[in-house]
Amino acid sequence: MANNGMKNYLVNLYSWENSRLCGSEDDFLVGDEVIAEGELGNDLGKVELAGMKIKEKPLFKILRKATKRDIEAVKKNEEKKFEILNICKIEIKRMDLKMKLVDIRVSIDGSGILVVFAAEGRVDFRELVRNLSCIFHRSIKMHQIGSRDEARKIGGCGICGRELCCMRFPGNLPSITTEMARIQKISHRGSERISGACGRLMCCLVYEAEQYREMLEGMPEINSFVKTKQGKGEVIEINAIKQEIGVRLENGDVIKIKKEEL
């Protein structure tokens, strides 16, 4: 259990934030609609898993069960969402801002609007906030997200034919590095073949990275020189799974040997 003594739940928030781990001292059942303390304000969500055991503290807290009034308020906000979305797009285009509108979120009480956008770099949106505040007469907040979060919000399928990993797995997205592709011997395929829908390295590269690190312990590097029973040679291939090494001998012959034969 979490070290604060609270029961943990997996709650799917009805916003761009997706699934999050939440903690609470109350008892909730799978399928219960609840109000959770989100990163950017209170959100309506549905309990997907109950009584989870995790080592870390819960990211957010479940405040209470959702009332009929909460659910109706969220439904009304969703009906207004597309109108607000279109007006925001018009203002962004009119001001020629280099940003891509991803989502609009209206607070449960209707007093505030969160504009979620993606951009390559920093964007000066101060004038946009002032204009939108005058149009909607509400508090406006801007939140910039990265391409991975954008893909998580939009959804889709990967090259494997399954739902995007960022959609299937809750919580914070892991950091994916080129080192993970290198140790799995697939970095030579090129960035296009190891990149996901978001244009960044595929999330699935992290799944077997640690196992490959363990299997590669004691294995030589590509282009390094080793001594074998047949003589000295250059390492031209490594098969971590089979624990085999391809070596080109000084006489030009290519042999395959096991790691323990070095």
90-125 exposure pattern, b = at least 16 Cβ within 10 A, e = fewer: ebbeeeebebebbbbbbbbeeebbbbbbbeeeebeb
**Over 90: is that where the pLDDT of 167 sits?**
no
| CATH code for the domain in which residue 109 is found | 3.30.300
**Over 70: is that where the pLDDT of 39 sits?**
no
Residue percentage of the chain with pLDDT more than 90: 29
Q: Are residues 61 and 83 in the same domain?
A: no
pLDDT at 3: 45
Averaged pLDDT for residues 31-39:
82
From the list 151, 240, 152, the residue with the least C-alpha distance to 199 is 151
**Over 60: is that where the pLDDT of 171 sits?**
yes
pLDDT at 136: 93
**Over 70: is that where the pLDDT of 40 sits?**
no
Within-domain flag for 86: yes
**Over 90: is that where the pLDDT of 13 sits?**
no
In 3-state terms, what secondary structure has residue 21? Answer: strand
Within-domain flag for 203: yes
Averaged pLDDT for residues 227-246:
91
| 28 Cβ contact list (under 8 Å, min separation 6) | 9, 34, 47, 50, 62, 65
pLDDT at 164: 87
The Cα-based distances of 6 to 1, 37, 54, 179, 258 in angstroms read 7, 14, 11, 37, 51
Q: Are residues 117 and 76 in the same domain?
A: yes
Residue 203 CB burial class (10 angstroms; 0-12, 13-18, ≥19): buried
pLDDT at 10: 72
Within-domain flag for 39: yes
211-222 residue pLDDT tens: 999 999 989 988
**Based on the structure, what is the number of domains in the chain?**
4
Its domain, for residue 169, covers 158-211
